[in-house]
Amino acid sequence: MSATAQNWPPVEVEPPSPHPDAPAPGQPLDAHYSHCFGCGDEVESGLRIRSTVGEHHVVVSTFTVTKDHQGAPGLAHGGLLTCAFDEALGTAAGNLLRVPVVTAKLETDFRRPVPVGSTLYITTKLCGRAGRKVYTSAEGRLDAADGPLAVEARALFVTVGVEHFLEHGDPEQLKELGERHSDWDVNP
> What CATH number corresponds to the domain at position 107?
3.10.129.10
16-33 per-position pLDDT tens digit: 899 999 999 999 999 988
Sheet of 58-64, strand order? 28-29, 50-53, 58-64, 119-130, 133-142, 149-159, 101-110
Positions marked catalytic: 86
Asked if residue 12 belongs to a domain, the reply is no
- Among 151, 114, 152, 157, smallest CA distance to 134 is for 157
Asked if residue 179 belongs to a domain, the reply is no
pTM exceeding the 0.85 threshold for the entire prediction: yes
163: Cα separation from own chain's centroid: 22
**66-70 mean pLDDT:** 96
The percent of residues in the chain predicted with pLDDT above 90, rounded, is 77
127-156 per-position pLDDT tens digit: 999 999 999 999 999 999 999 999 999 999
Asked if residue 4 belongs to a domain, the reply is no
